[in-house]
Amino acid sequence: MTTNSKRKSAIVELKALLEEDEDRLRTLFQELLQELLEQEMTRTLAAAPGERTPDLTTSHS
């Protein structure tokens, strides 16, 4: 099987999975996005959730 054929096959399989369990996939993406956003906020603010730092006027929520 060529690389292009494998790619097309994987896309077809992924589409089938998406159609079968759309709600489960949506929940998974929401959780993943939330985790990524929290990590980015922690890194940007240099404070973990609920933590205060001298540079912040409020806590990171």
- Rounded to whole angstroms, how far apart are CA atoms 43 and 40? 5
- Rounded to whole angstroms, how far apart are CA atoms 60 and 43? 11
Mean pLDDT by 10 residues, the chain (61 residues): 83 83 84 92 78 66 58
Q: What is the structure's pLDDT at 5?
A: 86
Domain ranges of the chain: 22-46
Q: What is the structure's pLDDT at 52?
A: 72
Q: What is the structure's pLDDT at 60?
A: 52
Q: What is the structure's pLDDT at 30?
A: 92
- Note the pTM of the prediction, 2 decimals: 0.50
Q: What is the structure's pLDDT at 34?
A: 95
